[in-house]
Structure formats: structure tokens, C-alpha cells
Structure 1
Amino acid sequence: MLFLSLLLLATGATLLILRRRRVTEARAVTVGGMLSGVVGLLLGLSTFAYVVEPYQVAVPATLGTVGGTWQPGLHLKSPLTDVTSFSTRPTDLNMTGNDTVEVRSSEGGVLYADVTVKWSIDPQHTQALYKLAGSPEAVQQRLVYPDSREIVRNVFARHTGVEGYTSQREAISTEIDKLITERLAPRGILINGVNLRNVKPSDSLQHAIEAKIQQDQATAQAEAAVRTAQAEAEKRRIDAESTAAANTAIAGSLTDKLLMSQCIDAFKAAAEKNPVYASPCGSGSAPVIVDSTKR
């Protein structure tokens, strides 16, 4: 920008000099020289100022010397100062498609994980990030991207293929989020969320997972059948013990006199419908005749 400004100023001065020597038409030369000079002057003045936009911070560097972090607003600077801006808004790092993470389970099976890492910079660490990476794009490519892929692989390596594909996906996503945050926070990179979007097993692992799921289902059904059989056997045992106890109690309470009394009562009730009813009551006893008409 500075060199362009100097070039325009030089062009304007040259045109004004040519006007005085009447090399061409004076009016056209005058207008061209003045416009070139004004534009060059404005460009020259712009090299002394820099505006940091909202939701941005900037780091100035002058002849190899890195300055402090600039907050949003207007800042004066030397024409020799280069300014690098960093956005403080969250940025999505999408590891999908060609960047899908190939991972291995604890059993050695291959899975493919699509992961999105939402990150942003800590404004207080902008100068350190500039010295470490040099630009926002470099921060993502040199720091966030490789560290995130490494952690995703390490976490999946501690789980089986079935866990990574089905049962433990939420727990795995939470663990990845925690470890990436712990890794990058000291460098001034804030993790605003990790989304484990999709996990796809390789064909061979897919078959193994399906076989394992079917085996687990069969085992669960067998265990349920065993528990049901045990419960039914326990119920029959309790019923048998209750019946035996009741029979024992009844047998202990029955006497000949009690049986005779209950037998007579029963025949009295029967005689209400039959005028005469005769039957022995009790072992070795004489027949008892009940006449409902005579009582």
C-alpha cells in the first residue's frame, strides 16, 4: 500500500511538471496529476491507520518485532507495520469427507468417524498464537486439526467396535470434548463443542458387530428364560410348602367328636331337601338317620 501511494504521488508530480513544460494539453494534465496526487495522498495516510473490526483482535508486527494485541477500534501505526487480524467468533473444523478420521477399536477393527470441532481463540493469547502459528488459518491447520485427530484416534482405541458404533457414542463424544479442551486451552484455543456426527464401521467390522449384537441378544433371551424358570420353580416350592403346612394344621385339629358334629350338621342341611337321609358318620359308627319331618 505504501509503495502504491508513493507511485501515485510520483505520477501526479510528473504530470504537473509536464503541464508546465506544455508537453500535452494543460487542462487534462492538471486534472490527471491532481487526481493521482490526491489518491496517492489518501493511500499514504491510510498506511498510518488500521481499523480492527468488531469480534476481532489484531497483532501488529514491525520489522520483525511483534507488538501487543489490538482490540476493536482505530489504531495508528507505522507504514512499515504489518497487521494480522484474528476473529473471536467460533469457527467450525469439519473433519468429514476426505478429512474423515480413520480410527481403530481396541479389538483392531476399523471405523470412520465424522467429527466437527467448534473452536475460537482466547483474545488474551492472541500474541502467543501469532508467534506460534502466524495466522488464523495456520492456528487451525497446525494446532486444532492435528491435535483433534490424534485425540479422536486415542479415545476410540480404548473402546470396542460395538461401543464406538452404538452403545458408547455419547460417552466417547464427551471424552473427546474433554481431552481436546484440556490439550488446547493452555495455548489460548477455546473449544466450544465437539460433535461426533457419524461413525461408520468398515465392512468386515460391520459383519462382526452384527454377529456380536445377535449373540448378545440370544444370551440375554437365554438368561431371561433361566430367570423365569427359576421364579416359577420358587413359586411352586412356596405353594407346596404352604399346602403341606395347611394340611398338617388341619390334620392336627381334627378329632372324632369334631368330625361327628360336622357330619351331623351336614346331614341336617341335606335333610332340608330330602325328608329322610341316612349315612354313617365317622369310622365304625352307627348310621345316623335324619328325618326332616320329625327332626
Structure 2
Amino acid sequence: MHVFVVGLLLLVAAVLVFVVLAARSRRRKGAESAPQRRNRLIGLASAAAAAVLGVVLLGGSSVYAQDTGDASVIVSWTGDILGQEITPGLHVKAPWSEVKTFSVRNQQVVFAGSRAETDFTGGSATGPDITVQDSDGVTSNIDIAVRYSIRPDQVTTIYKQFRDETNFVSQFVTQDIRSTVRDAPNGFSTLDLITKRAELNTAIQKSLEQRWQGTGVTVDSVSLQQITPPASVTAAYAAAQNAQIKVSTEKNLLQAAQVSAQQQVVQAQAKAKANDTLNKSLTSNVLKQNYIDTLSKLAASGNVVVVPEGFGGIVNVK
């Protein structure tokens, strides 16, 4: 719009200069002096340059280029919406209309750390971490990153509400993200908030998707980066974890001792059973046969062992 105004003013100025110079030329009936001729030529040259520049500016204000990943709304000088454009390339418009561009690429909003305020860059934003309260009434700080995108066919609707991209991000996107992140932990206890990050991440994403349904804004991803509870809660949780580890260790040792004792009982039972079986198998015939086998082995080694009937000693005879 500003380019159009400047170009129009230059054209008007050039026309006025031409008219004035032509009027002066008609009033002079005699020959022009050298200074008069020089001044007239300078005026004509200046008017011609202004006219060319005005035409260029007017022509430039009638054409605009749109990048891939952008969508535009065409607005008249009175503020009326003339249409929208979602395809990249060069496009023609009325020179007095304006182009309001919105990015439909994947944008990111990050809330993390202790920044003093939220900064906006196009469709993206960064701000301080979000303070939340769980169902136990304990306050924690959450760092989170949300990626979103705008549906190209909904750019006009978004423009009607917010007029430009910065207002859209500051008044809608960031406010909704903060509100959703604050509400989600209300359904989690302090312990669950610490130990069930995946469930909390899913709850935030589903809630944000429902909140933005029908608005032309799509939730691409939610990344819960860090949960920082009070130091007292962290210390208590660490102590509980250490106690749990100790209990688990002692339980494992007890189970190992029980297993070892059971193994010893089983081994003793097996040995007793084996001895009992052996004792039952040692009949008089078996013992006599073992006696004979032993004498045979001694005789095979070159010795003769004579054991008289009823004699308790051993006599070696060579």
C-alpha cells in the first residue's frame, strides 16, 4: 500500500511538472535564454525520472511473490478481504491492496528455563517454563516444546480473528499451550507426575488437539522435556527410591538363601534315598558275591588270601 501511494505521488508530481513547463513554454513567445533552456531541460528530466519511477513502483505494487510454505490473504485499503492465495510463485493483485502472509510450515513454541518474557519470531515463540499444580497440590515447573502448523485453507479465518501472525501466536497459540499444560497435571499425583512422563505427555497432546479442533491449527508433536518439582519432593523421592532398592536387595538375598537351603534339603533327601536304596539292595547273596569277587581280585594280583570259617583275621600265604 505504501509503495502504491509513493508511486502515485511520483506520477502526479511528474504530470504537474510537465504541465507547468508546458504552460511556461507557451507564455514565452520569444527565444529562450540559455539558463531558461537549461532549467526547462532539468525539469523535464526530473519529471521523466519521477514518472518512470512512479510507473515502476505502481507495477511493483501490483505483483507479489509467495514462497513455498506460505499462504496469503489479500486485503483492500479499506480492510475488506479480497481473497487468499496458497500456491507459491508470482501473483497479481490490485496495486492499492495489501498482502498479509502467514507461514503454514511446521512451527515450534518452546517454554523452558527462566526467561523473563516470551519472544516471537514469525510463527514461532520462546518463553519461560510453565508452573503447574498436581492433584496433591504440589507445584512444579515444566519445560515443553510444541510443534504446530496452520492449514492453508484456514488462513483467511485466522486473519479475520487476529489480523497478523504475531497476534495469532501471542494471543492464541502460546496462550492455549500454557493453559493446556497447566490443566493436564491436575489429574496426576506428585509421584505420577515424576514417574509417568509419557502418560502426561500424551494427556497434554490429546487435550491440545481437542482444544484446537476446528480452528485450522494442527498439533504436530508435543515434547515434554523436563519436570522440576520442589527440592524437598525430589529429595524425598530419592530417599524412597534408595529404600526401595535396599528392600529389593534384601529380598533378593533372602530368596537366594531360601533357594540354597532348599537345594541342600533336596540333595540331603536324594543322598538319604540313595543310601536307603543301597542298604536294601545289600542282601546276603549280594554280600557273598562281593566277597568272592574281592578274593578273585586279590588272587589275580599274585596273593592268596585264606580266611578260615569263623576267623576274624587275614592270613597271607605266598
Match of 2:14 among 12, 29, 40: 12
Deviation at 1:115, TM superposition (A): 1.5
Matched, 1:103 2:127: no
Call closer, same or farther: CA 1:65–1:18 in 2, change over 3 Å.
closer
Match of 2:172 among 140, 143, 160: 143
Match of 2:85 in 1: 70
Matched, 1:286 2:286: no
**Matched position secondary structure for 1:25:** helix
Counterparts of 1:94-243 in structure 2 under 5 Å? 94-97=110-113, 98=115, 99-161=128-190, 164-165=193-194, 167-243=195-271
TM-score, structure 2 as length reference? 0.74
Match of 2:106 among 67, 90, 93: 90
Deviation at 1:189, TM superposition (A): 1.8
Match of 2:66 in 1: 52
Q: Deviations over 1:202-231 (max 9, x none)?
A: 322221222122122122212222322332
Call closer, same or farther: CA 1:293–1:124 in 2, change over 3 Å.
farther
Call closer, same or farther: CA 1:148–1:248 in 2, change over 3 Å.
farther
Call closer, same or farther: CA 1:271–1:96 in 2, change over 3 Å.
same
Residue identity over aligned pairs, in percent, reads 23
More displaced stretch, 153-162 vs 83-92: 153-162
Checking the alignment, whether the CA contact within 8 Å between 2:304 and 2:316 is kept in structure 1 is yes
**Matched position secondary structure for 1:19:** helix
Equivalent residue letter for 1:44: L
Please give the alpha-carbon distance, in whole angstroms, between the structure 1 residues aligned to 2:168 and 2:310. Answer: 114
Deviation at 1:40, TM superposition (A): 2.4
Deviation at 1:142, TM superposition (A): 2.8
**Matched position secondary structure for 1:194:** strand
Match of 1:251 in 2: 279
Matched, 1:265 2:293: yes
Checking the alignment, whether the CA contact within 8 Å between 1:95 and 1:115 is kept in structure 2 is yes
Equivalent residue letter for 1:78: A
Please give the alpha-carbon distance, in whole angstroms, between the structure 2 residues aligned to 1:54 and 1:37. Answer: 34
**Matched position secondary structure for 2:276:** helix
**Matched position secondary structure for 2:94:** coil
Deviation at 1:164, TM superposition (A): 4.3
**Matched position secondary structure for 1:187:** coil
Deviation at 1:179, TM superposition (A): 4.1
More displaced stretch, 218-227 vs 179-188: 179-188
Gaps spanning 5+ residues in structure 2: where? Answer: 26-35, 116-127
Q: Deviations over 1:62-99 (max 9, x none)?
A: 34543443122333333453321111222221112322
Please give the alpha-carbon distance, in whole angstroms, between the structure 2 residues aligned to 1:182 and 1:271. Answer: 101
Deviation at 1:100, TM superposition (A): 0.9
Checking the alignment, whether the CA contact within 8 Å between 2:305 and 2:317 is kept in structure 1 is no
Please give the alpha-carbon distance, in whole angstroms, between the structure 1 residues aligned to 2:47 and 2:204. Answer: 63
Please give the alpha-carbon distance, in whole angstroms, between the structure 2 residues aligned to 1:176 and 1:278. Answer: 99
Checking the alignment, whether the CA contact within 8 Å between 1:272 and 1:292 is kept in structure 2 is no
TM-score, structure 1 as length reference? 0.79
More displaced stretch, 5-14 vs 214-223: 5-14
State the number of aligned residues. 289
More displaced stretch, 107-116 vs 206-215: 107-116
**Matched position secondary structure for 1:69:** strand
Checking the alignment, whether the CA contact within 8 Å between 1:278 and 1:288 is kept in structure 2 is no
Call closer, same or farther: CA 1:100–1:38 in 2, change over 3 Å.
same
